[in-house]
Amino acid sequence: MPKHVEQTSPEKKEYRYTYEEHKKRQYHERKYLTKSGLVQRYMIVALVLGTALLFILNQYTQIPVGYGFLVALNVTTFTLFGFDKSMASYDNAGRLPELFFHIISLLGGSLGIFIGAHVFRHKIRKWSFMSKEYAILFFQAMIIFILFRQSFFPSL
């Protein structure tokens, strides 16, 4: 009989793990929460859900594809922000890097980041992160103004 199994009665077995087996189990449980584990899985799920949302918006509504892309991107960004907030409570857990959020924001997910930051109360006090997000939002507002200035101000 192995060392870690105690026989208490003929029909009931009680398992006790050795210290090495316990540490091995903890390692495998923590491995699931590392960047190579859970973060990649969640990003794949978010990408699939965002693509499915884009497909649904394109098929069943009259929203143009560009607007549907922005809606799907912002919903995905919002969920990723919530995921990052939930992972902040774990030690050595896989977190999404801030650069990832800045890139998504540049692609059009600014609204999802700002709503997610306030709903989940995550990264609001981190001025180095929020100042870059405000700069990206200002940059996007300037691009929208330049592209649509004839609509806003016909005399210009």
In a domain, 15, yes or no: no
In a domain, 7, yes or no: no
Q: Which residue has the higher pLDDT, 111 or 43?
A: 111
In a domain, 69, yes or no: yes
Q: Which residue has the higher pLDDT, 90 or 116?
A: 116
In a domain, 85, yes or no: yes
Q: What is the pTM of this model?
A: 0.64
In a domain, 5, yes or no: no
Question: Nearest 10 degrees: CA dihedral of 134, 135, 140, 143?
Answer: 140
In a domain, 6, yes or no: no
Instruction: State which amino acid sits at residue 103.
Output: I
4-8, 75-79, 92-96, 123-127: least confidently modelled range: 4-8
In a domain, 105, yes or no: yes
Q: Which residue has the higher pLDDT, 115 or 4?
A: 115
| pLDDT one-digit tens code per residue, 70-93 | 888 888 889 888 888 887 777 656
Question: Nearest 10 degrees: CA dihedral of 99, 73, 30, 87?
Answer: 80
CB-CB contact of 17 with 25 (8 Å): yes
Give the count of domains, the chain.
1
Domain range enclosing 146? 32-152
In a domain, 22, yes or no: no
